[in-house]
Structure 1
Amino acid sequence: MTESNDLRLIAVMPAPPATVHAALTDAAALRAWLAEHAEVALPDRYEFWGRDTPDGAEPHQRVLHAGERDLRLAWTVGGVETTVEFTVAEDDAGDAGSALLTLTQSDLPTFEEILSDKAGPRGELQTFWTLAIANLADYLADRDLTPRPDYTATDLSGSVVIDAAPQAVFDSLTQAEHVRRWSGVHVDIEPYVGGRYAMGGFDVDPGGMKYVEFEPGRKATLRFADGFTSSWELEGSDGKTRLTFVQSGFDPENPPYAGWAGWLSGVAALRRYHELPQWRSIWRLIDAPGVPAEMFVYDA
C-alpha cells in the first residue's frame, strides 16, 4: 500500500518501448485507446477530454516535460492539480520485444474517501487508468478494445463478445481461483443465492456483497450493502459468449459513479484471460492510496 496519495501502476506492454511511446504521444492513437477527444503537439500541447474522461467537459492538461521515453503532465481534476507521469522502459524480465509502462499520478483521494462518495471525479482516476492501460495493451496487440465508460451517463450497461464458451466464462466469474488470476484482486466467493462475494477476502470484508440472483451457466446479480447492484448475463453462440452487464442503484443526480471503469477494466482482463493462448496478466504493480496491500495478487 502506498504511503502517499500517489497512484503507481506498472504494466507489461506487448511492443518495444519506441512503439509504446508513439502510442502514448500520437493523437489518433489516444483517441482509440484513451479518450473521446485528444490533441497533441509536443513539447507544448498534450490534451485529452470527453465523456469518457473524469471531469472531461474540456481539457485540463499542460505539459511539464516531454522526453524520448517519458512524459509528465499537470492535470487538474475536480479543481485539484495533479501530476501524471508516463515512463517507458525495456522489459528485461519479460518477452523479447515487450516494454514496461509505469504510470504515476499525484494527489489522489484515499480509498476511504472514494468509498464514502466524497472524492468527486478524482475518485475515478485509479480505475480510469487501469482500463486505459488495458486498452493500450490491446491496441498495441491489434485486438478489439473494451468499451470506455460514459461518465456523464446514468445508464451503466454494456456488452462484449468473449471468444470462449458460456460455461467457461461463467466459471471464471464465479470461482475465486479464476477471478484471482484474471483480475489480480484477492476475492472470496460463495457461489449461490445468499452467498457472499468479498473483494480482498472475507478477512478484509466479512459481510461482502451478496448474490441475490445466481443461475449457473447463465447469469448472476450481486447487491452491495448500500443497495447498489451489479448484474451480468451470458448468451452463447458458435463457441463464443456475449456478456451483457448492468449496474444500478446509483444517485442519478450525482455522476460519475465510482467503480464503473473498474468493472470495465475487469472485463478487459477477463477477455484477455480467455482469448490469449499464452495468457499472462499485464500487471506488475497496482499501488493505490489507502488500498490494502492484500487486495491484490500477482500469481500469473
Structure 2
Amino acid sequence: MTEPMIIRARVQAPLKEVRHALTDPATLRIWLAEHAEVELPDRFGFWGRTTPEGDAPHQRLLHADERTVRFAWLLDGEETTTEFRLEEDGDTTVVSLSQTHFDFQDVITGKSIRGVLQTYWYQALSNLAEHFEGRELTPKPDFTSVDLRAEITIDASPSQVFDSLIDSEVVTRWFGYPIEIEPYVGGRFAMGGLANDPSPAKVLELEPGRKFSVDWGGAGVGTWELEGSEGKTRLTLVQSGFDAERPPYAAWGGFLSGVAELRRYHEVPDWQPIFMD
C-alpha cells in the first residue's frame, strides 16, 4: 500500500472552533456533506450526493480527542483511514488531513472511486476555510450526476478574471501547482509545465474577457464562461465531452477547489493560499 496522502490547510479560526466544525453534524452539513450524524465517541458518519459512494454513511469512528478525529471509510470495497489533526498557529489552525488507499493511477484510469479522494478533500477543506471566513461556499461536485455546471460570482471585472485564467504565472500562484499555458487557440496547457507534461491539454477557444475552453482528452472539455455586471464577474464552469459511463469526478473536484482559490485571489486582501506545502 502506498504512503498516506497528506494535505495541510490553514483555517482562520481557533483550534477549538475548528474541532467543533469537524464533529458537529449541523456544521458538517454546511461544509462537508448533505447529511451527517455524529454521536461521540460512538458514531461519525456523512453521506449524500456530494460524498463519494454517498448512498449511506460508510464511516466508522476510530478515535476522537481535542486535536484529532480519525475514522475508517469503506470505499470500493476497501476500508480506508482518514485522519484530521489540528495544530494551533497563532490566531489560525492548521488542519492536516491524512488519507490512506489513494493511488494516483486511479485518477488516471477511473478504475476506483478512491481516485477522487485527493481533489475531494482539497475541495472540502476549501469550503471549511471559507465557512470560517463567512464567505459563500464553492459548489460541491455531485457524485450522482453526469453533468458538471457550476456558477460563482467573483468581485472583479471579467478582464481581470480572464487574465488570471490564461497567465501562466498567475494561474500557478492561485492554483498552487506549476502550470504553463500558451494563450492562443491551439496552444498547450501543461500541468507541471511544458517540460514535465508529455501530453498537455489543448486550448480550444479563447475570447478575451468572455470564454476560455481547454480539451483535457479523456476528461473532456473544460469551459470557463464569463459575464460581467457592476464590476463583478459571473463565472460558469462547464465540463463536457467525456465518457458518461465514467464521469471525471476527480477532475471536477480539482476544478472546483481551484475556482475557490481563484475567487479568494481576487477578493481577499493580503491573499495567501489556503493550502500549505
Structure 2 length-normalised TM = 0.97
Q: 2:156 is matched with which residue: 154, 164, 173? A: 164
Distance 1:136 1:89 in 2: 15
Counterparts of 1:172-191 in structure 2, within 5 Å, are: 172-191=164-183
Letter in 2 for 1:113: D
Alignment check: 8 A CA contact 2:106 2:113 kept? no
Q: Which amino acid in structure 1 is aligned with residue 110 of structure 2?
A: D
Task: Tell me the equivalent position of 1:117.
Answer: 110
Structure 1 CA distance for aligned equivalents of residues 250 and 241 of structure 2 = 12
SS at match of 2:51: coil
Instruction: Please say if residues 105 and 115 of structure 2, whose CA atoms lie closer than 8 Å, have aligned partners that are also in contact.
Output: no
Aligned to 1:100: 94
Using the TM superposition, name which of 223-232 and 266-275 deviates more: 223-232
SS of aligned partner of 1:258: helix
- Offset, 1:254: 2.9
State the secondary structure of the residue aligned to 2:218. coil
Find the aligned partners of 2:248 and 2:209 in 1 and give their Cα distance.
Answer: 32
* Residue in structure 1 matching 2:25, options 11, 24, 27: 27
Report if the CA contact (8 A) 1:6-1:104 is conserved: yes
Distance 1:243 1:145 in 2: 14
* Kept in 2: contact 1:211–1:221 (CA 8 A): yes
Q: Identify the residue that residue 74 of structure 1 maps to in structure 2.
A: 72
- Equivalent of 1:228 in 220, 225, 232: 220
Which residue in 2 is equivalent to 1:200? Answer: 192
Q: Match for residue 147 of structure 2?
A: 155
Distance in 2 (alpha carbons) for counterparts of 1:85 and 1:227: 29
Q: Which residue of 1 aligns with 2:46?
A: 48
Q: What do residues 163-218 of structure 1 show as CA deviations (whole Å, max 9, x unaligned)?
A: 11111100111101111111101011100000000011111114411111111121
Question: Structure 2 stretches of 5 or more lacking a match?
Answer: none
C-alpha distance in 2, partners of 1:199/1:80?
30
Task: Report if aligned partners of 2:119, 2:251 keep a CA contact under 8 Å in 1.
Answer: yes
Output the amino acid matched with 1:55. E
> Which residue does the alignment assign to 1:298?
none
Alignment of 1:13 with 2:11, yes or no, is yes
What is the CA-CA distance between 1:227 and the residue it aligns to?
Answer: 6.9
Alignment partners' CA distance in 2, 1:250 and 1:177: 29
Change (3 A) 1:227 1:266: closer
Normalised by the length of structure 1, the TM-score is 0.89
In 2, Cα distance between equivalents of 1:253 and 1:117: 10
Deviations 1:37-95 (A, max 9, x none): 1011111111000110011111100111010111110011111101111011111xxxx
**Count of matched residue pairs:** 277
- For 1:89 and 1:227, how far apart are their aligned partners in 2? 37
Amino acid in structure 1 at the alignment position of 2:253: A
Distance 1:217 1:192 in 2: 14
Shift of 1:256: 5.9
Q: What secondary structure, in the 3-state scheme, does the structure 2 residue paired with 1:164 have?
A: coil
1:45 partner letter: R
CA distance in 1, matches of 2:199, 2:65: 48
Structure-1 separation of matches of 2:100 and 2:110: 19
State the 1:105 CA deviation: 0.8
Paired position in structure 2 for 1:295: none
Distance in 1 (alpha carbons) for counterparts of 2:32 and 2:186: 38
SS at match of 1:261: helix
Q: Which amino acid aligns with 2:107?
A: I
After TM superposition, the runs of 4+ consecutive aligned structure 1 residues lying more than 2 A away are 224-227, 253-258
Q: What do residues 96-133 of structure 1 show as CA deviations (whole Å, max 9, x unaligned)?
A: 41111001011112x23321222x21011111100000
